[in-house]
Amino acid sequence: MYVRGPCSVISMPKTRNAKSTPSRPRADLAVIGGSGLYAMEGLERVREARVSTPFGRPSDAVVLGVLAGRRVAFLARHGRGHRISPSMINYRANIYALKSLGVTRIFSVSAVGSMKEHIHPGHLALPDSFLDRTTKRASTFFDQGLVAHVAFADPVCPVLTAQLAEAARALGVMCHEGGAYLCMEGPQFSTRAESRLYRHWGVDMIGMTNATEAKLAREAEICYATMALVTDYDCWHESESAVSVEGVLAIMRRNVEQAKKMLRHVIRQPTPPVACACPTALRGAILTAPEAMTASVKRRYRLFLKAPPAGASNGRA
């Protein structure tokens, strides 16, 4: 259990005066937990925030608490009890909810299959790029009356990834730095033909969730890094069994314990100085002129409109 002591529940409205709520909880750092990681152990002064967003309901209540003196938010990507399939996750609501609570850094934990011989099941990996093969999910906030094109050449935050790499070295965790994560739609695993094709493309790992999150985190100007827990060899390997839920869960339990240790190590470290472009991703990226934005558009995107549109000389959009 992640709860130490009593837990209170707060409903967070989506109205413009929501920030005047006296007891509004806040957190700078968030963990999004995937398969096998449904709670953060050791949190104190725990509260739950049920956040309404312009994009619908998040996967679950956001759990907020204190760990090592830092305010931390936790969100179960698939909902507690693993109720939501990868294609059906409301990724936009999840990222928006975290941003509305003050989150500026997200560590994402996710199960992946290995596409390389040397990345063994049981290892961890820190991808630095994505190949997005999803087709059924919204992967941008900007779909109604506002157009923005953020840079996404380097989709994960180098500062957060460096923190995770340092934690792995300090704890003696086998962790591969860098690599391309192919994000498939799912929920089925790959066919052998697909797996061989992805290998030919040179990707290092395969999962079902993180490319979508990374895109939305960048649009939300939130630093984002993936901790990938390697559970299998997909189905390309000649001498290993094809991926199955039973096999994934057996290795996942060990991987999750390593991930928890790394997260606790990172959270206890001093916050590094801002040395990335993530917090200014929208600077110059919004193309829609302020006078072309309706009142409803401005309400929908109020958390994003601190950045002036491209070509604007000054002022807020």
Of the listed 60, 128, 132, 232, which one is catalytic? Answer: 232
232 is catalytic: yes
28 is catalytic: no
Neighbours of 140 (CB within 10 A): 14
Do 40 and 267 touch, CB atoms closer than 8 A?
no
Give the strand pairing for 180-183 and 175-177: unpaired
Report d(CA 170, CA 271) in Å as an integer: 17
Report d(CA 38, CA 90) in Å as an integer: 17
Do 29 and 70 touch, CB atoms closer than 8 A?
yes
For the annotated catalytic residues, the residue numbers are 232, 234
